[in-house]
Amino acid sequence: MKVLPQRAHGHRLVGGGSPFTPYLFLLPYLVVFVLFRFGPVVGGFLTSFTSWSIVGSPKFVGLANYRALVHDPLFFTSVANTFYFLFLTAPTLIVLGLAFALLLNRPIAGRGAARVLIFAPYAMMSAVVGILWTWILDSNFGLLNYYLAKVHLGPIPWLSSQIAAMPAIALTTVWWTIGYNMVIFLAGLQDIPPQLEESARIDGAGAWQVLRHITIPLLRPTTFVVVMLTIINTFQVFDQVYVMTGGGPGTATLTLVQYLFFQAFQTFKLGYGSAIAYVTFALLLLMAWLQQRLLPSEVSA
Amino acid sequence: MRRLWSLALCLVLVSFVVAPSLPPARAAAPMDLAFWGGWTGPDGDVMHQMVDQFNKEHPDIRVTLTTLQWTPLFDKLLTSVRAGQPPDLMGMHSQDISQFSTLGILEPMGSMVTGAGFKASDFMDVAWKGTFYKGTQYAIPLDMHMHAVYVNTDMWKQAGLNPAKLPTTGDDFVAAAKKLTVDAAGRHPDDPGFDPKTITQYGVGMMNNHHGFYMWYALLAQQGDPFIAPDFTRTAFSDAKSNAAWQWLQDLVFKYHVVPVGETNPYQDFVTKHVAMLIDGPWEIPGLNTVKGLHWDTTTFPRVFAAPAAWGSGHLLTIPKQNDKAREQAALTLATWIVQHDQEWGNSGNLPALLSARTSAAFRALPGRRGFLEEQAYEIMLPDVTQSAQLYSSAAPSPIVVAAQAALVRDVPVAQVTQELRNRVNAILAAP
């Protein structure tokens, strides 16, 4: 006797069809992913072995672009600047993001408003943020210098000073993106069962001990994600730099992606630009690997 | 009832499909032309008006003008050529011709320009020469723009200076700039006790980006030195003259304190009366004309050394290569019409390259052009090099921006600025 398919019992509304059915649902995304993500990634990799100025056909040059990078002082300047930017922003974004989250996870007055205010800048477009801060930081009529002048400091030509330009962009970036980290940390904090902290407190643990031995260890998966995303995002900084300083003054804020853009789209050396992109990718991969080694995502007792 | 509704709906839908296709059935469809240019300020408004006028006069052609900043516009140009859909007419600068003709995307236009009835003697000499690269003409000249000095005449009079005698020499310029620079206690740079930290009004506003390099280039030419050797393989300026040029500019900022250190927006500083003079191009004229209560005049770029010279460039109109000869012809019609109406383009601030437009009563009557008109004959353009995008880029890591900012923002010793500029330019020129 033939066994009726399960569907007949009404337990499964979908299924029992072709095993390819789930993939059919994934197909629309897959098409977009292959066309606009994976395709360009492979294309860019191949381009990095060519000499190509968009028009005409690419000429295969082997490793010449990568070899030229080794002798390009501007490339090393941009690597150094990128790490400097990472150093200026990432620790602040992570620690301050966590601090905001811890503070705004407590039942304090004005909590909702504070959460919105801290997160709101993140909803702005990068170009808007860049232009806004260019005006705030302006040396002659900027808001910041206006108040600095009141306390007899400055005016500091923030964006046109060799020393102040990168910190100014870092400040802008922290203001712009800190809310994102805060929200992820908040979500992580709300996943921690309150009983754990309560019982620790009953056992006589102080606020610092609770934070040190309960909250931070249990937050580790979240921290792992935040650290990873922060490093990736800050390492690929471009918009703010492009809008606010264009990489200047001199080469003071020339970052990797800014330099990539300059080579590929301002001097039309697509192959060389692609090579910079792949070195950037390799550096990021290396950092992700190091992070995995140094900061395991698993919660250990 | 339901059937009636669906019938009505069908009728509406059908009318949507049919309606737009009806008018062309009566008249032949006009040819659509794409015209691109980087005029994103008030100059863009003037060009849009001109294109509207052209469209009215030419029912068979319908031109769409797209304006975008030059750098992304050039990226768009290359990708559009790659896609086989280049713009029909493209605005450019003289210094862009070498790069894009070398990339093979510009149509030689010598016979087209002659065919349209233009000849060399119709244009300012510098502008005409700027349309050639290696002996081939690739464009029709449209205008010229160069550095000159804007002067706020109210501030000028307040400082006790004579508005009938605007400075032309470097010494007069510096002397006036000092009188126009005032600290919180009302002292000037040469007065005892003058405090540069409390300056409330500066004598001069000037750009410390690629325009800083352009000023150096002009001061080098004033001393008779070329920037690049005639064979385009290496730099050709002497250390001494380069240093003297950088030093004069650097002193304005760091010795005389007549220019704000690290100035980010000289035009805005001039409008808001933070600076009394402004070294800039004529493209600021339409904007300044809209500022209420600002009275200004123009004078020549400072003549610091023996020969007068100021950096300048020019817009020109060029036709990217395409297979459709009818479109090419229509693009030429458009370009010819625009150049013939060059005096209207003069409203954009740029100076007409066409001599008859430049000398027309309508153009001469426009206010504030004096300094630029006097400078026009001494305009010098950047040398044509195939690596122009790399060398002359206005983005930070280009050698000219790095040099200008080293000298004018970072106060690096001028001998070092000269050396680094020479090394980087030579490296770019030596690369294939």
Taking the Cβ of residue B421 and every Cβ of chain A, the question of whether any pair is shorter than 8 Å is answered with no
Q: What is the 3-state secondary structure (H, E, C) of chain B?
A: CHHHHHHHHHHHHHHHHHHHHCHHHHCCCCEEEEEEECCCCHHHHHHHHHHHHHHHHCCCEEEEEEECCHHHHHHHHHHHHHCCCCCCEEEEEHHHHHHHHHCCCECCCHHHHHHCCCCHHHECHHHHHCCEECCEECCEECEEEECEEEEEHHHHHHCCCCCCCCCCEHHHHHHHHHHCCEECCCCCCCCCCCCHHHEEEEEEECCCCHHHHHHHHHHHHHCCCCCECCCCCCECCCHHHHHHHHHHHHHHHHCCCCCCCCCCCHHHHHHCCCEEEEEECHHHHHHHHCCCCCCEEEEECCECCCCCCEEEECEEEECECCCCHHHHHHHHHHHHHHHHCHHHHHHHCCEECEHHHHCCHHHHCCCCCHHHHHHHCCEECCCCCCCHHHHHCCCCCCHHHHHHHHHHCCCCCHHHHHHHHHHHHHHHHHCC
Residue B181's φ and ψ, nearest 5 degrees, are: -100, 125
CB nearest A55 (choices: B104, B395, B405): B104
Taking the Cβ of residue B92 and every Cβ of chain A, the question of whether any pair is shorter than 8 Å is answered with no
The predicted structure's pLDDT at residue B22: 45
CB nearest B389 (choices: A78, A157, A267): A267
Shortest Cα distance from B399 to chain A (angstroms)?
9
pLDDT in tens, B376-415: 889 999 998 888 888 988 877 899 999 999 999 989 999 9
Instruction: Report the pLDDT averaged over residues B416-431.
Output: 94
Judged against a pLDDT cut of 70, whether residue B16 lies above it is answered with no
Shortest Cα distance from A133 to chain B (angstroms)?
13
Compute the distance between CA of residue B414 and CA of residue B407 in angstroms, rounded to an integer.
6
| Mean per-residue pLDDT of chain B | 91
B52 or B366, higher pLDDT: B52
Q: Which CATH number fits domain B31-142+314-364: 2.40.50.140, 1.20.120.1770, 3.90.1300.10, 3.40.190.10?
A: 3.40.190.10
pLDDT in tens, B60-80: 999 999 999 888 899 899 999
Minimum CA–CA partner of A260 in chain B: B397
Quickly count helices (H) and strands (E) in chain A: 15, 2
Is the model's pTM score more than 0.90? Answer: no
The predicted structure's pLDDT at residue A230: 95
The predicted structure's pLDDT at residue A92: 96
Minimum CA–CA partner of B266 in chain A: A140
pLDDT band at B114 (very low <50, low <70, confident <90, very high): very high
Contact A181, A97 (CB under 8 A): yes
pLDDT in tens, B341-378: 999 999 999 999 999 999 898 888 888 899 999 998 89
The predicted structure's pLDDT at residue A14: 54
DSSP 3-state assignment of A50?
A: strand
Shortest Cα distance from A93 to chain B (angstroms)?
27
B319 or A211, higher pLDDT: B319
Top residue of A53, A55, A144 to mutate, by most chain B CBs within 10 Å, is A55
pLDDT in tens, B82-94: 888 999 999 999 9
Judged against a pLDDT cut of 80, whether residue B21 lies above it is answered with no
The predicted structure's pLDDT at residue A301: 40
pLDDT band at B185 (very low <50, low <70, confident <90, very high): very high
Domain with CATH 3.40.190.10 in chain B: 31-142+314-364, 146-312+382-430
Residue type, A110: G
Shortest Cα distance from A196 to chain B (angstroms)?
54
Considering only CB atoms, which residues of chain A are within 8 Å of chain B? 53-56, 74, 77-78, 134, 138-141, 157, 159-162, 245-251, 253-254, 258-259, 262, 265-269
The predicted structure's pLDDT at residue A297: 61
H or E element: which one contains A80? helix A73-104
Please name which of B294, B427, B338, B359 lies closest in space to residue B65, comparing C-alpha atoms: B338
Shortest Cα distance from B254 to chain A (angstroms)?
14
pLDDT in tens, B200-227: 999 999 999 999 999 999 999 999 999 9
Judged against a pLDDT cut of 70, whether residue B17 lies above it is answered with no
Asked if A160 and B396 come within 8 Å (Cβ–Cβ), the reply is: no
What class, spelled out in words, does domain B146-312+382-430 have in CATH?
Answer: alpha beta
Collect all residues of chain B within an 8 Å Cβ-Cβ radius of residue A51.
Answer: none
Top residue of A153, A169, A260, A268 to mutate, by most chain B CBs within 10 Å, is A268
Minimum CA–CA partner of B210 in chain A: A250
CB nearest A54 (choices: B79, B209, B409): B79
Contact B173, B149 (CB under 8 A): yes
Complex ipTM tops 0.85: no
The percent of residues in chain A predicted with pLDDT above 70, rounded, is: 92
A295 or B30, higher pLDDT: B30
Collect all residues of chain B within an 8 Å Cβ-Cβ radius of residue A247.
Answer: 395-397
